[in-house]
Amino acid sequence: MDRRGIAEIGGLSLTGGVLAIAAQRVIVGGIDWVLVVGLVACVGLAAAANYQARTKHAAQVATEAPAVTEDNYEQHGRPTAGDGGVPPDDAASNDDR
């Protein structure tokens, strides 16, 4: 895992732990450290799984996407008004405007 993934996981785990401590302090008046450690571990696992899924999906999309170059970039976008517009439908419209 790269530095960005480690930073995301560590930051989310730390934030989850601080929020768990603050919530327990306000609501209960004390801190259950077993619950805090468990929540930090769960947040860390969820963040790691999320990061792995996002990076794997991004890599898969990058390999499957067609290569857009100067020569073929017009083929990969929708036609706009400057390009002659979108072709009209053959069906008659029931719009009474």
Percent of the chain with pLDDT over 70: 67
What is the reported pTM?
0.59
Helix H, strand E, coil C: the string for 55-79 is HHHHHHHHHHCCCCCCCCHHHHCCC
Contact in structure between 53 and 31 (CB atoms under 8 Å): no
> What does the domain layout of the chain look like in residue ranges?
3-65
- Six token digits for residue 80: 């706009």
Closest to 6 measured CA to CA, from 68, 48, 66, 61: 48
pLDDT tens digits, one per residue of 9-51: 999 999 999 999 999 999 999 999 999 999 999 999 999 999 9
Computed from CA positions of residues 57, 58, 59, 61, in that sequence, does the dihedral angle turn out positive or negative?
positive
Give the span between the Cα atoms of 65 and 87, in whole angstroms: 26
pLDDT tens digits, one per residue of 51-96: 999 888 888 877 877 676 666 666 666 655 555 555 555 555 666 5
